[in-house]
Amino acid sequence: MTRIVYADNAATTSTAPSVVKAMLPYFTELYGNPSSLYTVGQEAREGVDHARQQVADAIGALSSEIFFTSGGSEADNWAIKGIAHALAAKGKKHLITSAFEHHAVLHSMEALQKEGFEVTLLPVYENGLVKPQDVADAIRPDTALVSIMYANNEIGTIQPIPEIGAICREKGVLFHTDAVQAIGMVDIDVKAQNIDLLSLSGHKFHGPKGIGALYCRRGLRFPNLIDGGAQELNRRAGTENVPGIVGLGAAIQEATADIPGRTARIQAMRDRLIDGVLQIPRSRLNGDRQHRLAGNANFCFEGIEGESLLLMLDAKGIAASSGSACTSGSLDPSHVLLAIGLPHEIAHGSLRISLSDVNTEEDVDAILEALPPIVERLRAMSPLWER
């Protein structure tokens, strides 16, 4: 069997064994409903409370400001649709976001557009960064919300969130950030950075899939996305996913315990990878080299289409991606690469390699060994190459 090199940690990560271990008792022993009075319910409640504190600590929030959701997409939908609907009543029907947000944000915005909201899509420029000044210029008296992602999921660029937060606070406009890719990679402090709402998702930092959270600044009130029972302070109904919540708590604590140490190790591997890959002629790195997530490398190779590249890498035991995971299977080129100004044929041909703690120098070696001959082979087949 070929050794598997999993290099798609931006799509999802393996659940850490320590996280699985923390979760296990909650399936078969501490399986009570946290809303129940009796002991087995209260034990589950303690697990949930503890995890809520872990999440709060990781981003500088209060535990009462953390609401568990089924993942990043739900958190994005809830924050954006909720704030929009709450402020529409006050005549604020304008929303600001960027052109290269995750589809959970963009499609929520589109759904609101259909309801009559107006959406401004800010440009992101060739370096993959939003300009704070553009945010300031776009804000109007009827602006309800600014939503700018903390770090992009395809090209890994880290946005100037503290600057944008300061602008929004000064102008009195609410600010949401999709921090799904940033947790454990960037120092996040929602208070210091003036963030009003923040989405996160467990499976991006070795926590379980299907669990996430919305941080929502104290006092902010907006309609629920999921109505029903009194869970999550009456704001998100549904019996709590206790093992998932406990796993999320354990994972976020591990991921944020030593961010500088964690990212230094990952970034060293990533930098060697970038330098090696850019030896391939007519290859390029997409997105700013400095302001980028420690584990992210996103390349284009002229004359090559992305899916073929991935399949050939898979045949060598290397798991990577082209565009984002949730749009593969679609024929569309990456909206992110189009947003930073790449032409269509190149936006079809990107390769994202995303590393995490679990990767090793051997993984980097394996990629650097496998990739050049595959690129060569595909180029030899390509009618676009050398013409």
Partner 1 sequence: MAYSEKVMDHFSNPRNVGEIVDADGVGEVGNPKCGDIMKMYIKVDGDVITDVKFKTFGCGAAIATSSMATELVKGKTIQEALQLTNKAVMEALDGLPPVKVHCSVLAEQAIKSAISDYYTRKGIDPTPIVGPIEDCEACHLH
Ligand X SMILES: Cc1ncc(COP(=O)(O)O)c(C=O)c1O
Active-site residues, by number, are 326
Q: How far is the CB of 213 from ligand X (least distance, A)?
A: 10
> In this structure, are residues 212 and 76 in contact, taking their beta carbons and an 8 Å threshold?
no
**Among residues 151 and 337, whose Cβ is nearest to partner 1?**
337
CA end-to-end span of the chain, whole Å? 39
Task: Choose the one of partner 1, ligand X, a copy of itself, none that binds residue 48, judging by a C-beta under 5 to 8 angstroms depending on kind.
Answer: none
**Among residues 194 and 322, whose Cβ is nearest to a copy of itself?**
322
Task: List the interface residues with partner 1, window 282-311 (CB under 8 A).
Answer: 303-308, 311
Token readout for 160 is: 């100037």
> Residue 97, Cα to own-chain centre: how many angstroms?
15
Task: List the interface residues with partner 1, window 191-230 (CB under 8 A).
Answer: none
According to the binding rule CB under 8 A, does residue 345 interact with partner 1? yes
The number of beta carbons lying within 10 Å of the beta carbon of residue 387 is: 6
Candidate residues 23, 30, 45, 84; the one interacting with partner 1 per rule CB under 8 A: 45
Q: How far is the CB of 286 from a copy of itself (least distance, A)?
A: 19
Phi-psi category of 157—alpha, beta or left, where left has phi over 0 and alpha has psi -120 to 50?
A: beta
For the stretch 50-56, contacts whose Cβ atoms lie closer than 8 Å and that sit 24 or more positions apart, written own/partner, are 50/246, 50/249, 51/245, 51/246, 51/248, 51/249, 51/250, 52/245, 52/249, 53/249, 54/249, 54/250, 54/252, 54/253, 55/200, 55/213, 55/215, 55/248, 55/249, 55/252, 56/215
Q: Which stretch binds partner 1 (CB under 8 A): 79-87, 267-275, 344-352, 362-370?
A: 344-352
**Among residues 16 and 168, whose Cβ is nearest to a copy of itself?**
16
Q: How far is the CB of 133 from a copy of itself (least distance, A)?
A: 29
Residue identified by tokens 């995890």 is 51
Task: Choose the one of a copy of itself, ligand X, partner 1, none that binds residue 20, judging by a C-beta under 5 to 8 angstroms depending on kind.
Answer: a copy of itself
**Do the strands 350-354 and 5-6 form a parallel or antiparallel pair, or are they unpaired?**
unpaired
Task: Choose the one of a copy of itself, ligand X, partner 1, none that binds residue 331, judging by a C-beta under 5 to 8 angstroms depending on kind.
Answer: partner 1
According to the binding rule CB under 8 A, does residue 40 interact with partner 1? no
**Among residues 33 and 283, whose Cβ is nearest to a copy of itself?**
33
**Among residues 4 and 257, whose Cβ is nearest to partner 1?**
4
Task: Choose the one of ligand X, partner 1, a copy of itself, none that binds residue 361, judging by a C-beta under 5 to 8 angstroms depending on kind.
Answer: none
Task: Choose the one of partner 1, a copy of itself, ligand X, none that binds residue 149, judging by a C-beta under 5 to 8 angstroms depending on kind.
Answer: ligand X
According to the binding rule CB under 8 A, does residue 333 interact with partner 1? yes
Q: What gap in Å lies between CA 259 and CA 358, rounded to an integer?
A: 15
According to the binding rule CB under 8 A, does residue 33 interact with partner 1? no
| Interacting residues toward ligand X by CB under 6 A | 71-73, 76, 102, 104, 149, 153, 178, 180-181, 201, 212, 238-239, 326
Q: Crossing angle, helix 39-59 and helix 242-256, to 10 degrees?
A: 30
According to the binding rule CB under 8 A, does residue 326 interact with partner 1? no
Q: What gap in Å lies between CA 357 and CA 195, rounded to an integer?
A: 27
Q: What residues make contact with partner 1 under the rule CB under 8 A?
A: 37, 42, 45, 303-308, 311-312, 315, 328-333, 343-345, 348-349, 380-385
